Each structure stands twice: as structure tokens, then as C-alpha cells.
Amino acid sequence: MMSGNNKGYILTATIVMIVILSISMALIAEKWTYVVKREKENELLFRGEQYAQAIRRFYLTHKRYPFELKELIESNPRCIRRLYREPFSKDGKWGLIYLSDLASGKVFKKTNTAEEGNGKQTSNPNPVPVGQIYNKSSQPIITGQIVGVFSKSKDRPYKDFMKGDVYSDWKFIAPVITRNKKIELRRESDEIQRK
């Protein structure tokens, strides 16, 4: 038979063991969350760059930008291996950057997390129907053509990529080619560089 002192000692030792295990599990869970988020960031960078390269290849092959992402996989020759899901969104859908967004300069505006934390997209969710608009130099620009993708996530990244405060600031854009100029996003800043 156990005496009263031994029962109290076993109970205390069990409670201490449970507390130590709980703290260990909390630390492991925090580290695991960090590892998973970093892996998703790397996957976002890889997939976004794949889309930018595929859109560029599509343009070089077809002399226009795609109107839907599925055109990248349905074109002959195929421009992308498969349509990748966006790793941070539950539905896996990317935000789309249209040629009209690029021409208007909307793409380069920073997301203000205090004001736009309600899930608003920085890109035009309802593009202008396919047609022509004109920029300042009277060159026609076809609207509705996809030139890039971005994440719709408002989470703060660990990596410093394109000076983005949230993942939706990370834009993956194919170089845009007009008649005599090439417009592309410089990673060092949010300005349009014309060559």
C-alpha cells in the first residue's frame, strides 16, 4: 500500500511532466508553423515566376497575352507544365494583373494593410471588356490580357521580396512589350523601367 505522501509525489510529478510536455509541444508547433510558412513563400516565388515566364513564352509564340490562365496550358506548344495553385489562398486562385492595370499604373501602388485589410484586390477584378484604350502617346492597348499574377493574401511575409509589406504586394509580371519599348517591373523599386 502507498502512503499519502507517495500519492502526492506521483501526482505532482505527473503534473510537472504534463506542463513540460505542453511547453515543448507549443515550441515545436511554433517552429513548425514558421517552417511551413517559409516553404509556402518559396513555393509562391517559384510558382509566380513560372507564370511570368509562361506568359512571356505565350506572348512570344502568339504575339498577344492570354485572356485566361488556362490558355497557357492549352496552347501549342504548351507554355507551362501545369496550372499551379496559389499556396496561401484556400481556393488556390491567383490575383490577375491585366495589361490595362499595368498601363494605368495601378499595379505599382502599395497595399495599405490598415485600409485594405478587408481583402480588396489591388488588380482590377472586373477588367474592361476586350477592346482598345489609348495611353498618353496614342498607342492602342488591348485590355483584358493577363500580363502577370499575384497572391491575394494579406499576411506579412518573412522574406523581403520586391519591398512588399504583404504577399499581395509581390507581383509576378512578364515583360510587357509595346511597339518600341519594353516595360518591366524592377525588383529594386516599384517604378516602371522603360528600355
Distance CA 73, CA 85 (A): 14
Q: How do residues 97-115 score in pLDDT, each as one tens digit?
A: 998 887 776 666 554 443 3
Mean pLDDT is lowest, of 6-10, 66-70, 77-81, 172-176, for 6-10
Q: What are the backbone dihedrals phi and psi of residue 148, each rounded to the nearest 5 degrees, phi first?
A: -175, 180
Question: What was the pLDDT predicted at 194?
Answer: 38
Question: Taking a C-beta distance cutoff of 8 angstroms, is the pair 140, 133 a contact?
Answer: yes
Q: Is the pLDDT of residue 145 over 60?
A: yes
Q: Which three cell numbers stand for residue 12?
A: 505532482
Q: Specify which residues 173 forms β-bridges with.
A: 148
Distance CA 44, CA 11 (A): 49
Is the pTM here over 0.85, yes or no?
Answer: no
